[in-house]
Amino acid sequence: MAPNILRYLKILAITSTAVKKGELSISDVAAQYKYKNTLIDVKLDTESNISTTLTITDIVPSTTTIASLKLPDYNSGKLEVRYFHHHATFTTAVGLNQQSPTVDLTATVGTPNIAFGAEAGYKTASGEFTKYNVGISVTKPDCYAAIFLADRGDIVSASYVHHLDRLKRTAAVGEITRKFSKNVNTFTVGGSYAVDNLTVVKAKLNNQGTLGAISCSMNSFQNQF
């Protein structure tokens, strides 16, 4: 059976890298193989670490399954399953730490006009949620609005973006954020202007008196606060 598998195992790439820092030299060799709907990535470095990633598509239609492991650290193992649909994506990841396995879940459901997303992290050893965040956004031709609950329910924020011209070169932005643990509210207003196809200028000001300005272009980057 093994010879039959090797016959159809296709080598997609073999790469080698080397980095020298002072007297220390680090190098690795990586290879990628394909067998039917399975990709196998293997990397070996000079510190005797072996990293392997197994990616299998369509075990169940529209799914991708990824298993990774780095030896000799057995606790680095991770198993991830992703499901993709035209209007939804779901991801489940399980860390294979023997002492404290973790489970991460993410989900996104929506259309081009409205979308809902959520993520949660759970530590099985302590029975605690390491994170849980939810959000909803609405998109229109000339505006965008979103509400997020983050940091395990400690932060809630609402933002609104309105394009002031048909070409969407100029936009006004407003955001309200509340941090419950510190009983602090932050109000921010700002705007952006596209000078040309390569340059965008942005500015913002919050109720604490913090002013930010940024200019982005393909050839330069300037930031001032």
Does 82 have pLDDT greater than 80?
A: yes
Query: Could you tell me if residue 192 is inside a domain?
Result: yes
Q: How far apart are the C-alpha atoms of 20 and 23, rounded to whole Å?
A: 7
Query: Could you tell me if residue 169 is inside a domain?
Result: yes
Asked if 16 and 29 count as a contact pair (C-beta separation under 8 A), the reply is yes
Burial 45-80 (b: 16+ CB within 10 A, else e): eeeeeebebebbeeeeeeebbbebbbeeeeeebbeb
Query: Could you tell me if residue 200 is inside a domain?
Result: yes
Q: Which domain holds residue 215?
A: 161-225
| Residue 96 or residue 115, greater confidence | 115
CB atoms within 10 A of CB 128: 10
Query: Could you tell me if residue 36 is inside a domain?
Result: no
- Mean pLDDT, all residues of the chain: 88
| Residue 17 or residue 205, greater confidence | 205
Asked if 101 and 108 count as a contact pair (C-beta separation under 8 A), the reply is no
Query: Could you tell me if residue 78 is inside a domain?
Result: no
Number of domains composing the chain: 1
Query: Could you tell me if residue 56 is inside a domain?
Result: no
Asked if 77 and 51 count as a contact pair (C-beta separation under 8 A), the reply is no
pLDDT per residue over 139-151, tens digit each? 999 999 999 999 9
Q: What is the pLDDT of residue 1?
A: 44
Query: Could you tell me if residue 207 is inside a domain?
Result: yes
Query: Could you tell me if residue 32 is inside a domain?
Result: no
